[in-house]
């Protein structure tokens, strides 16, 4: 039951912070125009700092000789999810099929797993390093392939999108560890960056809660329970069960199996509504998918990890 309770605590903590964001917007303590700058602070500054310090302090190449294979595992996992998304999206009504598939495919690959792994183990666990290496290519992949779901061309891999702050921070920290140059980084720098990085998860959840409040005001009275129910069933239950079956067949290392299992069971990435609106999709239905999936994950995610624990152990 350890996996169940720890993952339940992690998800409940994230949802609590999201509720605070919802309340801040509802009371007008935080205004809508501030959510954009706060997103930049969370994703482009705080998260890279968190990743940089964690890898710098906890990555030991000698103890993790197969670290380089983690991005390859992510590619394999992404291919499986792409295949599942292709078939599952056919269950959605044609009017929402693009949004349905988009929200199914792009999961919350960093923040939710980060909170769960930190709760199961510790904030300084090597599992967090494995997570950052596993998702090394995910941010660039998301921003460059998102338009494909809305019938648009693949975006060109511009320097800014390819070498995003998360990728730069990861590669820089790995390079410093591989060359043993991490010892020259002063403690006050790592301490300062660590404090900045600690803001990443709370900030993003506050932003999510605020965005949900704004979107609920815009789409009041237009709930689509049928499509939302199908989405939650597929995203929160069917996907992780299928992935668990694949993991049992392949039997990868425990750290890989745990990360992949969490990736398959988490809700959609929080940037999905913004990207949907930017690409001309139906943001209102995507908001419903995300809110329902987040709430359902309070129970579904711990259950899936408890089931995972019956087949895998450290």
Check which CATH number belongs to the domain holding 189 and give it. 1.20.1530.20
Both tokens assigned to 262? 């969490």
pLDDT score at 73: 96
Say yes or no to pLDDT of 157 above 70.
no
Domain assignment present for 313: no
Give the Å distances, CA to CA, from 199 to 17, 132, 146, 153. 12, 17, 27, 35
Q: Which of 264, 269, 290, 282 is nearest to 145 (CA)?
A: 269
Q: Is residue 202 part of a domain?
A: yes
- For residue 314, is it within any domain? no
Range of the domain at 109: 2-308
Model confidence at 193: pLDDT above 70: yes
Q: Is the pLDDT of residue 107 over 90?
A: yes
Give the total number of structural domains in the chain: 1
Confidence of residue 220 (pLDDT cuts 50, 70, 90): low
12 belongs to a structural domain: yes
Residue 245 maps to a domain: yes
Residue 98 lies in a domain: yes
Residue 156 has pLDDT above 70, yes or no: no
């Amino acid at each position: 039951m350890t996996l169940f309770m720890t993952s339940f605590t992690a998800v409940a903590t994230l949802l609590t912070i999201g509720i605070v964001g919802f309340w801040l917007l509802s009371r007008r303590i935080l205004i809508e125009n501030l959510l954009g700058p706060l997103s930049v602070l969370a994703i482009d500054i705080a998260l890279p700092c968190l990743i940089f310090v964690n890898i710098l302090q906890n990555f030991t190449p000698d103890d993790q000789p197969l670290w380089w294979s983690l991005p390859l595992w992510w590619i394999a996992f992404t291919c499986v999810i792409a295949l599942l998304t292709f078939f599952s999206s056919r269950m959605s009504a044609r009017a929402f099929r693009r949004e349905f598939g988009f929200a199914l495919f792009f999961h919350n690959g960093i923040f939710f797993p980060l909170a769960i792994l930190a709760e199961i183990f510790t904030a300084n666990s090597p599992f967090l390093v494995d997570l950052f290496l596993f998702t090394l290519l995910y941010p660039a992949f998301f921003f460059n392939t998102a338009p494909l779901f809305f019938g648009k061309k693949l975006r060109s891999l511009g320097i800014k999108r390819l070498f995003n702050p998360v990728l730069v921070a990861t590669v820089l920290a790995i390079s410093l560890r591989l060359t043993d140059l991490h010892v020259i980084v002063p403690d006050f720098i790592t301490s300062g960056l660590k404090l900045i990085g600690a803001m990443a998860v709370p900030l993003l959840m506050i932003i999510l809660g605020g965005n949900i409040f704004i979107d609920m005001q815009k789409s009041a009275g237009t709930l689509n329970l049928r499509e939302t129910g199908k989405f939650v069933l597929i995203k929160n239950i069917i996907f992780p069960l299928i992935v668990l079956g694949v993991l049992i067949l392949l039997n990868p290392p425990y750290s890989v199996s745990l990360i992949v299992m969490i990736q398959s069971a988490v809700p959609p990435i929080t940037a999905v509504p913004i990207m949907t609106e930017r690409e001309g999709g139906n943001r209102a239905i995507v908001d419903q998918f995300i809110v329902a999936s987040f709430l359902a994950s309070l129970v579904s995610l711990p259950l899936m990890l408890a089931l995972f624990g019956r087949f895998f152990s450290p």
